[in-house]
Amino acid sequence: MRWGEIGSKGWVVLLGMISLLFFVGLTTGVAWSDNSLCLGCHQDEALTKKDAHGRNISLSVSEADFKNSTHGGLSCSDCHTHIKDEKHAEGGEAVDKSVNC
Condensed to tens digits (0 to 9), the pLDDT of residues 37-88 reads 888 889 999 988 888 899 998 989 999 999 999 988 888 888 887 776 666 7
pLDDT above 60 for 93 = no
Per-residue pLDDT band for 99 (boundaries 50, 70, 90) equals confident
What pTM does this model have? Answer: 0.57
Close Cβ partners of 10 (under 8 Å, ≥ 6 residues apart): none
- Round to whole Å and give the CA distance between 90 and 101: 24
